[in-house]
Chain A
Amino acid sequence: MNLLIDFTLLIGILAIALTCLISRSLFRSVVFFILLGLMLAIGWIRLGAPDIALAEAAIGAGITGVLLLDTLGHLKKTGNLENDEPAPGRKRLILAIVSSFTLVGLLLWAVFNQPTPAINIHLLVTEAMPESGVSHPITAVLLNFRSYDTLLEVGVLVLAVLVGLALQTDQQAQDSLPGLPNPLLHACLTLLIPAMLITSMYLLWAGADRPGGAFQAGAMLAAAFILLHISGIKLSSQVSHRMMQAGLLLGFGVFLAVATSSLIGGRPLLTYPEGGAGMLILLIELALTLSIGLILLSLFTIANSPPHHKDQGGDHGH
């Protein structure tokens, strides 16, 4: 039975990916891309990696899908979208097919000849778990054993927004997205938003001992923010520009501050004090959740502001 599910899933993923690639309509491609994200999420569950499944569903299918749909709408509005994409040239198609088959072949060869690892990292993780401050190994790896990687990854997120903001030269850029004045939608929102917020907090809290954590919770929070945004309730007009920026940086700032505080005690960067690991991880994750939610929202709203005018040297102060 399980084998049947797996094979169906496998064929489904391949078929959806192919449809997404060869579809001549961009809208259809985007829809299939979102579907692909969901199928991949199920694939991850089948592989026993629920953390990745959650992230894939929330970010890979959810947020990326919204961004893609939004870009499509923007292209349509500005008239830069042809209804049917021209078919790729024969040479390109052959090159793409040959290179992807070569890659798949190489990967299959590599995976089927994979030796047994000389180092058993799982054992090392299990041994160190009691000192990590949490009981879910993924959270322990992300926020304790390899917290340095996570710190830099959060940096990448902040950087993405920073690049967006730097390109948005027009300071007074307003959202061009009108709210949807639909009473039914607003009634649904009053039910949906609290549920989404609670789910987000649950995911954050669950991260300590089961799948979940700041990234998934942040993505859920972002989804709630974006939903509000689309229906016309603008967060950006409620809070000042500076407050928003502080919110974007809060997670990274708190993480960096906790990381550096250990230096004062003469211990290496990112070391948690004896017995305080659990609390500090929760603190970092709480700040990260808020920031990730705001960062993903900002990526969405920045993409929605009107295209900036040609910069005239930009010699005027703020």
Chain B
Amino acid sequence: MNMILSPIPWLLVIPLAGAVLTMLVPYHWRSPASVVGIFTQLMASVVLWYQVTHYGPQFYAMADWQAPLGIALRADGLATLFILMSSLVASACAFYAHAYLSLQKRAHFWPLLWFLWASLNGIWLAADTFNLYVGLELLTFAAVGLVAFASDERSLEASIRYLYAALLGSMAYLLGVALLYGAQGTLSMDSLAETWHWGPTNQVAVTLILGGLLLKTAVFPLHTWLPPAHGGALTPVSALLSALVIKASFYILLRFWIEFQIYQFLPSLSQLLGALGAGAILWGGWMALRQTHLKMVVAYSTVAQIGYMTLMFPLLVAESSEASLLAYQGGILMLLAHAFAKAGMFLAAGNLIFCTGKPDLVSLAGMSRYRPLNIFAFGLAGVSLMGLPPSGGFNAKWLLLQSSFMSGQWWWIVVLLLGNLLSAAYVFRVFAYTYQETDALDTYKRPKLSLELIALGLSVGSILLGFISVWPLEMISLPGPVMEALP
């Protein structure tokens, strides 16, 4: 295949070059340059999608050295879906940031965003355990920089905490990778899977890797760094972090779990992960219900939603391939719906805070009359998060429910239903505040229409996903390393 036509290198080169360019050119040129970059990224993602659906999974040998000596990149259905997801959500957040941030802030935002985007694409495409580590490092620094960038004292503290948690996670992951390398002499995921050997070394390695990735994904009870970081960042950054950044470590976890067939050898670990997920759903939902600041509600909702994704792990059971497939599809759909819904919800919440000028829930009084479009965007995202039909969130939970029935693990059904009630409660609680009327004078600021439309667009996306769920599900079922390793 002609290498010049492959979009894979461009998915990495454009954001990296974008980062360099937006650091060098004068402030006024940074936004136009970035807009060009965003469109080429969208185009490259679509071209990749076309190639993968028509010609099957794509492989790319970096520097023309074949793995395990060199580093290979892989674009299977799963990776391509994630490329498309991150391109759409990141573009929306980038346009939002362009309208939302001042020129000064924007100038620093662009290079950080481009590094973030490069690392995300790098992680989706990676097929090498050490390359994944480097991707995670790049992602961590870009994300921490973006959190710190609000530059008030609280966000600085949150970003330092986030940095420590993320670095601890990276260290654990790296230690695990080093052990795997020592035991098997390779870093490439495909050759690791081929020569996998369940000895003590690999067990310790897997434990370290899982621990590190769980910390980075903020799975309960390792979630405490997330709410202040996601809730305290600037609005477009919060959306990027919740929608995309935590998905990166989750994605790596999932790939390890399936491709190295951990589910088959450590079934008790699956149940443990499920229990953590259940804890996240209940605790995150409960905490979201008790917050007094709007963005903290949304941030705790992320903690709960991560729990739903984690429920996928106990449902991947070796005995029932049908239940496993349903769980895999449900989990991925959950993740996808959450990316759109949570980005939409954070942006809508940011608009509301911009209107009232205050971050707390009480000052939302009267908002549903003043900003109906924005409340509608918040509500649509809420519908998907609650799992009401028709939405991506509903279909995802339906698949997970079916999978629980089929594998006879009824206890997860209880968790799913309880979680739904909690999500409904915290979303409606926000609504209740917006319907209150006050006698106070209106001194609201009006956000730009584009800000509201972008939030609405993302929320509508999460609902639309309910109608076109077949399409991403077909995509992840394309032949590839993950499908081969599923039971």
Contacts and interface: CB of A to CB of B under 8 A. Distances in A.
B141 A156 contact: yes
A249 B93 CA distance: 26
A311 interface: yes
A149 B71 contact: yes
Contacts of A289: none
Interface string B53-78: 00000001111110011110000000
A311 B24 contact: no
A163 B200 contact: no
21 contacts: A110-B204, A111-B182, A115-B197, A119-B185, A120-B185, A121-B69, A121-B186, A146-B70, A152-B118, A159-B19, A162-B19, A166-B112, A167-B148, A169-B151, A249-B23, A249-B24, A252-B20, A263-B13, A266-B3, A269-B60, A271-B64
A57 to B, nearest CB: 21
A270 B62 contact: yes
Contacts of B203: 110
B122 A114 contact: no
A179 B323 CA distance: 70
Nearest to A153: B134
A100 to B, nearest CB: 13
Interface in A131-181: 144-149, 151-153, 155-156, 158-160, 162-163, 165-167, 169
Interface string B357-379: 00000000000000000000000
B152 interface: yes
Contacts, number: 195
B104 interface: yes
B432 to A, nearest CB: 31
A253 interface: yes
Interface of A: 106-107, 109-111, 113-115, 117-121, 124-125, 128, 144-149, 151-153, 155-156, 158-160, 162-163, 165-167, 169, 245-246, 249, 252-253, 256, 259-260, 263-264, 266-272, 308, 310-311, 313-318
A152 B138 contact: yes
B63 A148 contact: yes
B47 interface: no
Contacts of B108: 162, 165-166
Contact of B104 (A128, A162, A318): A318
Contact of A145 (B13, B69, B191): B69
B16 interface: yes
B62 A115 contact: no
Given A149-B71, A162-B23, A245-B23, A117 B61 contact: no
Contacts of B156: 167
B186 A147 contact: no
Given A148-B63, A260-B13, A316 B149 contact: no
B135 interface: yes
A121 B191 CA distance: 11
Given A148-B131, A162-B111, A271-B63, A110 B200 contact: yes
A93 B180 CA distance: 31
Nearest to A148: B62
A106 B204 contact: yes
Contacts of B145: 159, 162-163, 166
Given A158-B20, A269-B62, 19 more contacts: A107-B204, A110-B204, A115-B184, A118-B197, A144-B63, A144-B65, A147-B63, A148-B62, A152-B118, A152-B122, A158-B23, A159-B138, A163-B148, A166-B108, A167-B151, A167-B156, A263-B4, A266-B4, A314-B104
A165 B111 CA distance: 11
A167 B62 contact: no
A118 B193 CA distance: 12
B10 to A, nearest CB: 8
A271 B61 CA distance: 10
Contact of A266 (B2, B12, B118): B2
A263 B3 contact: yes
Nearest to B149: A166
Q: Which of B12, B62, B144, B205 has the most CB of A within 10 A?
A: B62
Contacts of B65: 128, 144-145
A269 B191 CA distance: 22
B9 A269 contact: yes
Given A114-B201, A256-B20, A163 B3 contact: no
B106 to A, nearest CB: 10
A119 B208 CA distance: 22
Nearest to B109: A166
Nearest to B188: A119
Nearest to A259: B13
B105 interface: yes
A269 B23 CA distance: 23
A109 B204 contact: yes
B102 interface: yes
Contacts of B200: 109-110, 113
Nearest to B10: A263
A147 B62 CA distance: 8
B115 interface: yes
A124 B63 contact: no
Given A148-B131, A152-B135, A268-B64, A111 B201 contact: yes
Nearest to B194: A118
Contacts of B3: 263, 266-268
Contact of B68 (A124, A169, A269): A124
A318 B13 contact: no
Nearest to B62: A148
B453 interface: no
A149 B130 CA distance: 8
B137 interface: yes
A269 B145 CA distance: 28
Contacts of B205: 110
A256 B68 contact: no
Nearest to A157: B141
